[in-house]
Each structure stands twice: as structure tokens, then as C-alpha cells.
Chains A and B, each alone.
Chain A
Amino acid sequence: MVLSPRVMHSDFTRDGSPAPGVTSDAHQRGISRRAFIRGLGTSVVGAAAIGAGNVAQGLAEANAEPVQGPGAVPVTFTLNGESRTFRLEPRLTLLEVLRNHAGLTGAKESCDRATCGACTVLWNGEPVYACSMLAIEAEGAEIVTIEGLAQESRLTALQQSLIDHDGLQCGYCSPGMLMTLAALLRKNPHPTEAEVRQACAGNLCRCGSYPRIFAAAVAAGGGSPAQKLTVLSPSAHALA
């Protein structure tokens, strides 16, 4: 199912390293959406005008390789511990498949171009932007979403810590933020605040919950975050 033998680059992990588990054969078969578009190159404008079927044909000719799609193809991967097979158009992103085909709406769409992290899921244990992965890349991979984080509906220490330290406001970034932090804590069970900041550099929160997110993650790792709020009683502020 090679789309283009030129496509090797994978820029969807947080630190720029190739996605785990896709370095060998699986990676060669995989293709990020960004790489897919780059693979189309300058022909993309013309191709769009003549329809998706011709894009596939054009690619096939250009690469002299068999091409997936544009019709649905079977894709099998492990989703929250369970093997699942879907019939998918190759152009579907992993995020779309999770949300619209698997019924898992925890991962959110917000920027849809690998900037904000609201769609973060674990791919063989590493946080990736599901909005910018093609679902067919997930063939054989182990995907964990926010719905799969709590085992048997018991919250993880991290989830509980996020609640206790109010590391969330509207909650739209929370599923992605949590998956990023869950991956951090697996690698580094006792992170410092600086390490937490580094880990969630790829997740945006417009409500500005970062200080409490840092506190929650540090506390989940056994640390003691500093108290930042002081309530001054009427006698202390001496107004009134």
C-alpha cells in the first residue's frame, strides 16, 4: 500500500522524532497527511479541479506503484486494547475515524493542523496529533485515546490530580493535554515543572490553565507544587 516511496519523513511526534513503531516496514507503509500533500506537489491544484479519482490515478502513474483508494480499504488497529477493523477511505485522518467511525469523541478537533494538541492520542505509547495522521497509517498500531486511559472506569492518578488541582477550565484541551502528560509520566514518573512544561509545549489551552496543569502533573508524580493563591481575610486587607 505504498503511496509514494519518497515519503519517509514523519513530523507528527512532539519532539520531531519519527513516530514510534513506524520506523521500519510499518513506517514505509505509513504516510502523514502533510507528507501526502507534499507528495502531490505542484499538481495538487490541477488535480483538485478534475476530481479525487484522477488524483489517485495521477499518483499511480507518477509513482508506478499500486495505490490505495480512493474507495474504502480495510484498516485494522488496536484501539483502547481492542482489535478493530474499519473500512476507510485512505484520505480519512485518524481523528475523523476515532470521532466519526469509532464513536470516541474524547479527542477534539481544534486547529486541524498539528498545532494545538487537542486531538492528541497515544500511538504505540507516544503522543501524536491524530488530526494529522491518516487512519490507514495506524494499520497494526496500538492506539489509546482518552477513553482508554482510565482502566475499568477508575481514574488514573493523573486524571484525579487534574481534577484536584483544577488543571482545566472549559475542558476542550484536557483530553489531549492528558494524553501528553500520561505519556510523560510513563517515561518519567516524577517530572519537575520544567519537564512538564517541556512535555506539553505542543498543547495549547486558551483558558490559560497552564499553571494548574503543571501543578497537577507535578503532584501526580509525587511532587509538591507551590501554593500560588493567598486569600486575604477582611482583617488582613483591612478594607471595609
Chain B
Amino acid sequence: MPWPDQTRYLGKATPRIDGPAKVTGRAKFTADVAPPGVLYGAIIRSPWPAAHVRSVSLAQVLAAPGIKAALPAQEGAFDVQFYGQELAAVAGVSRQAVLDALPLAVIDAEPRDFVVNELDAIKPDAPRVAPDRPNLGEGQTKDTGDVDAAFASAAAVVEATLSTQIEIHHPMEPHGHTVAWDGDEMTAWSSSQGVFGMRGAFASQLGLSQNNVRVICEYMGGGFGSKFSPGFEGVICARLARAAGAPVKLMLTRFEQALAMGNRPSSFQKIKLAADAGGKLTAFQLESFGTTGASTGISSAGGSGGASFPAPYIYPAPTTRVKQGTVAVNAGPSCPFRAPGHPVASFGMESMLDDLAVKLGLDPLEIRLKNDPFEIRRREYELGAVRFGWKQKYHAPGATPGPVKVGIGCAGAAWMSGGKGTQAELQVNPDGTVEVRVGTQDLGTGSRTVVQVVAAEMLGLDPNFISVRIGDTRFPPSGASGGSTTTASVAPAIHDACANAIAELKQLTKIDDPRGPNWREACRQLGSTPLQVRGKWHEGLSTGGAGGVQFAEVAVDTETGFVQIRKILVVQDCGTVVNKLTCESQINGGVIMGIGYALYEQRVMDARTGVVLNPNLETYKLPGAADTPDIEILLLDMPERGVIGVGEPCTIPTASAIANAVANAIGVRVPSLPITPDKVLAALGQIPAGAQASLSPHLESGLAALAASPGVPAGEFTDGGCHA
């Protein structure tokens, strides 16, 4: 059974099923759960960016009033590799009791030399983050064709070194867990992007069987890729609860979020790009490295949170020479962050493509249409250009008169998305109500509402007849919410369960079509026993391979360097639209997160002390209400493709489009994210460019060393499946 052509709920605007709970404070997030006798947990973190810890003594902590458990992070001696690494954890009767006891821990440690910034870490004499390895790994290679010959014969070649920053997830709800034990069985209320994945990790790390672990996540306050694993904090929370013989709640603080809860890897990208006179790409060369923090070595692209990224991004070149490395620094490790690798890749490639177009005297839109192999995205560029008024607005770089320069830019995205194995359970009650159970979770994307919309559509029922239970490993399994796969995984499973329910009801009641008006009568005939059916994801109802393009209009004050975004236009394909309301919200969110990446957000490390300098939300700048521009969205309804997730593609091209708009406005490129006023003024030559990363002498030598290393062949680079 395919998706229906005529719909009552699918593709309409259905308010969130959990809206009332969320606007009244009834929605219980992890920190709101309070089992009787729950203790407060906290982690003691390293004040040293690098150290050898000889011992952790918690005897005085344990003797303090109200303290019920205290555990070292590791048994025996161990090494610390970043400021904020876990040393120990404590549980007590109140936050105050724990805060009073934390200073009583005695840590015997020998501080060591450290290096926290990428360009310091690649110096030959830099302290080594891992004693047995150089900080800069060998790098992955991907070479095709004779790139040197192609550069030699090209009509135009552009070359530049660009950089992107470390971005921190900062979900509004910090990471955390509440764990309670009942004998050998544990229940974790976790802020989780994947309850089943967390169950598996809890079981393996605590030596438990999986059927003794239950993970619950009824509501969670955002994750953006950082909440797949229980983390140190989850496992130690469970161990503290076991040691104390009482439930423990361990929610991290905003400070800890900035130190140790993941981030998007940085990048330094030296790109050389060539085209023929008509603008068709002929050669692409890249040397890049970024940091994933204290971990080093080879990282793969895609969902891993590694420092490599798909290259060349979206627009293929017949000849390529790619070398991507990772540099270790004494800082908190990275992890997947909304569209891992893609915004990083997009910024480099889209920037160079614009510069190449300018050099060839081509319209940046034309060079994209000429080189983009993905038909849907080309159409999105065309449709968007008309709506945006591209032809009317485009001008030569820097051509606006006066000190406030206006500019426009565009960029595209590719994302694999797609769906996979979810199972669901439907309980049809004799009174006609339906309860759907599925072990997915709602990160704020509206997946709970998706379940309701699909069931209402398939059964022909008012949504009020359908209750939805999610976020519990006692429900049928579903995968983690990552890779923009949730809707495409869950919707087909609900579809299947509903189809099975209809078939069973038909057989039981002999009512030919038990849906809609016949539903109550069919259910009444069940007598006193509810009907329980299951369904599972199968091919044909969802696909992957989302595109998406964005257009940006900015005004740049060349006297202050301030960038104001006037307009963002999104053109996004998402297959079958499931719910217009939540889809629109998710796209708005992707754009706004992209604005943060473009203009504001950056983790700043202090080279001399090794600490994070902006571990809070007043100095780490998240976009706020005043930073939100006019955002307009064109959504391409493509029912023949089935359901496709959009959570990630919609955040990929935002920063690139803004960066290109800034370059178009001021006539020079700001080669580094975030585009802060100082960088704008430096690019305009109005202040010295001393702090510009691309001017560091170490950068060129590091890139040269990387280029000269033999490297190892890269695995498949993620390209979103959108071009062959």
C-alpha cells in the first residue's frame, strides 16, 4: 500500500501532539524526573589541560555531610588530556552538600605540557597530545586523474586557504541522566537521541545483560548529534546509584557542556580549483586538517564526527587530489554535529566556486547550474533564483556605493537521510481509541506528532483518537535519531502497523473497510479484548538523498565590520511532506543554527592556560531573537519519493550562502568562519590581519607536511548520494 494521494492529515499542518504538555510545564524532561530519595550527582573535572594523575583520594569527600557515594573516574593512575576531563564523581543528598564536598577531593597529579590550538599543535616542537604519535596524523588521500595537467590547461584557477571553527552543540537541555536500580535491573531516564543505542552502551559498559537495562526518554531538550551515547556521565551516574543504594540524578552544567560534551571539528582547508572557459570544473585539490580534540589519527568522513569531510563537495571535478588529516590538541573531543562534515565542506567548496565564477566573469548561479549533477538541486536553484530575485539583485562584488554594502550569495546541500528498521505496535481498543508504541524519541523534531499524523491518516481517524507512546526501550525498537532518518524510519513502520490493523479488523469483523466512519463499529466488535498488531519499516515508503539550496542577502557595514542578514530563502526537497508545521520549524532551526556558524559561534581556547575561554552562553554567542532574519521557505512536495528527512540538509548551506553574500557585498573574501567584524575589517585592509589564521606561517608548513606525507586511501566519502 503506497502513501495515499488524497490526504486529510498527511502533508497538512498538524499542531504538535505534545504541545499542551510543553507549554504548561507538564512535559517531564530528564532533570524533572525525581524518583523517591534521588541524590544529586556531580563530576569533578580536571583543572589541567594535560597531566599524569597518580591518585584520586575521595576519603574526605565521602566523610562530608550528606555524601552517599564518590568514585574515581578510573582506577589507579591515568593521564588527563584536556581541561575538563573527568577525574571523579560524587553523589549526595543535595546540590549544596555535593558542592561543599567537591573541594575535599585530593588529586595527586603532575601537570604536563599541553597545546590547545591547531596551529600551535602542528609546530615541530609542540608538546605531543599522545606520547606515541605526532599531533598531525598522516592523512587520507583520494586522487583521481591527472590533476596537474588539468590545472596547467585550465582557463582559470583559484587558490586559497580557508578555515572553520570549533562549534559547540549547546542544546538547551544539558546532557544528563537519572538512574535507579532495582536489584540487578537499572532504569535510566536519559536525555537521549537513541534509547536502544544507550541501552546497549549501558549494558556493555556496566557488564549487564540488555534485558536488565531500561532507558526512558519521554522528552529531551535537543541533542544535535551529541546525545547518542550515555557518555562518562551516564555510566558513572549508574555506578554512583549502585554504590549509594539510591537513585542518582546527574545533569551537567552549561560550563561542562562547553568543555567535554562534543563539538564540530575545526578545519583548515587549502583549496585549488580550476575550470574551463565555460565554467565547467576541471580540477580540484585539497589539503586539509582539523582537530577532533584530544583524539588523533585517521577519522572517516560522514557521521563519525571526524575532521575529514566530503570533498569536492556536491560539484564533482574530473581530476582530484585530496589529502585530509587530523591534528590532536589538548581539548575536549568532537562528536557528530548536525550534518557532520557537510557545513565544513560546503564553506570551502562554495566559497571557491564563487571566487572562480568571479574570475571567469560568470554569474555564481550559472556556474552552479553548470556543475551540479543533481537534477533536483538544479531545479531548486532555478526556482529559488526567481523567488529571490537573483537576476535583479546580483551585482559585481563590492559594487554597492556608500559604506554599507549589500550582497547576495547562494549554496547547496546534499544529505543521505533515508530510513531504516523501525518496528511499531498498535493497540486498538474496543472504544475505538488507538495507542501507538514505538521506541523512537522526539528531539524536538516532531517525531511524536509524525506517528500520530500517519496513524490518523491511515486509519481515517481524528488525531484525538490516537495516543502515542515513545522514548522507552520497552516499546518496539527504533534506531537512533541521527542522520535525518527518524521520520523516514518511523512513518513507514506506523503505515505498516496501521495496514496490518485494518487487515485484521476486516477479517475479524467482516466489515469491508473498517476505517473512518466504520471504525467505531469495527472496534466495538472486538468485545472486551483490544487488538494488538505490529508493523515494521519496509522499502518503498521512504527514501534518502535530499538536496536543498539557500540564498542569502546581507548588508555589511564596512566601517564597523558588522554583518546584518536581511533575508534567507530556503528551497528544500523532502519527498512526501508529513507535517508542514514541524517541517517548517525544523528548517527555520537549521537556518538559524547555520547563522550561528556563519557569524557568531566559536569555542575559544587560551593557549597559555589551556582552558576554554568562553564556557557559557554570554561569551559563546548563540543566535538570539534579534539575530533571526526574515526566513522564507519553498518546500518541494515530491510524493513519489516517499518520506525524506530534512533536519540536516537545511543547516548545511546557510553559512556558505552568507559567506558568499558577504564576499559579494564587500568585494573581498573573508576566508574564515565565523565572519566576525574584526575579520571583515581585516579583509578590507582596515585593521592589521595579524590574527588571521590563514596568515600563520605554521599553517602553510603544516599543510605542506600533510601534502608530502604518503597518506592512506580514504574510504568512501559521504556525498549525500546525490551525485554519482
A64 interface residue, CB < 8 Å from B? no
Contacts of B580 in A (CB 8 A): 229, 231
Q: Residue B19 at the A interface, CB < 8 A?
A: yes
**Residue in B closest to A160 when the chains form the complex, CB atoms:** B23
Kindly identify which residue among B221, B383, B445, B589 contacts A172, using a CB–CB cutoff of 8 Å.
B221
User: Does B155 lie at the interface of the complex (its beta carbon under 8 Å from any beta carbon of A)?
Assistant: no
Of chain A, the residue at the smallest CB distance from B14 is: A166
**Cα–Cα distance between A112 and B251 once the two chains are bound (Å):** 12
Q: If A163-B15, A170-B444, A207-B585 touch, does A89 touch B96 (CB 8 Å cutoff)?
A: yes
Please name all residues of chain B whose beta carbon is closer than 8 Å to the beta carbon of A233 when the two chains form the complex: 637
Please, what's the 1-or-0 string for A100-129, where 1 marks a CB less than 8 Å from any CB in chain B? 100111111111110110100000000000
Measured between alpha carbons, how far is A207 from B588 in the docked complex, in Å?
8
Kindly state the separation between the CA atoms of A233 and B618 in the bound complex, as whole angstroms: 43
B25 surroundings in chain A (CB, below 8 A): 104-107, 145-147, 175
User: Does A48 sit at the interface, judged by CB under 8 A?
Assistant: yes
- The size bracket of the interface on B is 35 or more
B636 at the interface (CB under 8 A from A): yes
Cβ contacts B194-225/A at 8 Å (1 or 0 each): 00000000000000000000000001111010
Q: Which chain A residues (136-180) contact chain B, with CB distance < 8 Å?
A: 145-147, 149-150, 155, 159, 162-166, 168-175, 178
Q: Give, as a whole number of angstroms, the nearest-CB distance from A95 to chain B.
A: 11
Q: Which residues from chain B contact A96 at a C-beta distance below 8 Å?
A: 95
Q: Count of A residues near B, CB < 8 Å?
A: 72
The reply on A205 being an interface residue by CB < 8 A is: yes
CB distance B28 to A155 under 8 Å?
no
Task: Point out the residue from B584, B592, B624, B635 that lies within 8 Å of A166, measured CB to CB.
Answer: B584
Answer yes or no: B626 CB below 8 A from chain A CBs.
Answer: yes
- For B166-207 the 0/1 string (1 means CB < 8 A from A) is 000011111000000000000000000000000000000000
Q: Complex formed: what's the CA distance from A100 to B39 in Å? A: 11
Whether the Cβ atoms of B635 and A231 lie closer than 8 Å is: yes
Chain A residues near B634 (CB, 8 Å)? 230, 232
- Across the interface, do B625 and A201 meet the contact criterion of CB distance under 8 Å? yes
How far does the alpha carbon of A203 sit from the alpha carbon of B25 in the complex, in Å?
16
Indicate whether B521 reaches chain A with its CB closer than 8 angstroms. no
Q: Which residues from chain B contact A232 at a C-beta distance below 8 Å?
A: 383, 634-637
The contact of A204 among B16, B583, B617, B633, by CB within 8 Å, is B617
A237 to B376, CA, bound (A): 10
From A116, A150, A237, contact of B617 by CB (8 A)? A116
The answer to whether B24 and A155 have CB atoms under 8 Å apart is: yes
Closest to A175 in B: B25
Q: Does B474 contact A (CB under 8 A)?
A: no
A-B contact count (CB 8 A): 220
Task: Kindly list chain B residues whose C-beta atoms are within 8 Å of the C-beta of A105.
Answer: 25, 28-29, 31-32, 34
A91 touches B96 (CB 8 A): yes
Q: Which residues on the A side are within 8 Å of B96 (C-beta)?
A: 89, 91-92
Complex CA distance for A209 and B25, rounded to whole angstroms: 18
- What's the minimum C-beta distance from A214 to chain B, rounded to whole angstroms? 8
Beta-carbon contact of B173 and A207 below 8 Å: no
Inter-chain contact B639/A212, CB cutoff 8 Å? no
Assembly CA distance A234 to B581 (angstroms): 19
Closest B residue, CB atoms, query A169: B444
Contact A204 B624 (CB under 8 A): yes
Interface residues of B in 233-268 (CB under 8 A from A): 251, 253-254
Other-chain contact of B254, A112, A169, A200, A212 (Cβ < 8 Å): A112
B63 at the interface (CB under 8 A from A): no
A73 at the interface (CB under 8 A from B): no
Query: A182: shortest Cβ distance to chain B, in Å?
Result: 11
Distance to closest chain A CB from B590 (angstroms): 7
CA distance A90 to B27 in the complex (A): 29
Complex Cα distance A145/B32, Å? Answer: 15
Closest residue of B by beta carbon distance from A212: B585
Measured CA separation A166–B16 after assembly (Å)? 7
Chain B 592-634: CB-based contact to A (< 8 A → 1; otherwise 0)? 1100000000000000000000001110001111101011111
Which residues of the partner chain B approach A149 to less than 8 Å between Cβ atoms?
Answer: 24
Task: Flag if B625 contacts A197 (CB, 8 Å).
Answer: yes
- CB proximity of B382 to chain A, nearest CB, Å: 10
A203-229: which residues lie under 8 A (CB-CB) from chain B?
Answer: 203-214, 228-229
| Interface status of B22 (Cβ within 8 A of chain A) | yes
Closest CB-CB distance, B279 to chain A, in whole Å? Answer: 24
Judged by a CB distance under 8 angstroms, whether A240 is at the interface is: yes
Contact partner of B635 among A147, A150, A208, A230, CB < 8 A? A230
9 closest residue pairs by CB, A with B: A106-B25, A170-B444, A172-B221, A208-B592, A208-B589, A171-B22, A169-B444, A163-B19, A105-B32
**A contact residues vs B (CB 8 Å cutoff):** 48-49, 51-52, 89, 91-92, 96, 99-100, 103-113, 115-116, 118, 145-147, 149-150, 155, 159, 162-166, 168-175, 178, 196-197, 200-201, 203-214, 228-234, 237-240
- Pairs A–B under 8 Å by Cβ, sample size 17: A110-B173, A116-B254, A163-B15, A163-B16, A169-B446, A171-B23, A174-B23, A204-B622, A208-B592, A208-B593, A209-B589, A229-B633, A231-B580, A232-B635, A234-B639, A237-B636, A239-B636
Known: A169-B444, A171-B221, A231-B635. 5 other contacts (CB 8 A): A49-B103, A168-B23, A171-B23, A207-B444, A231-B580
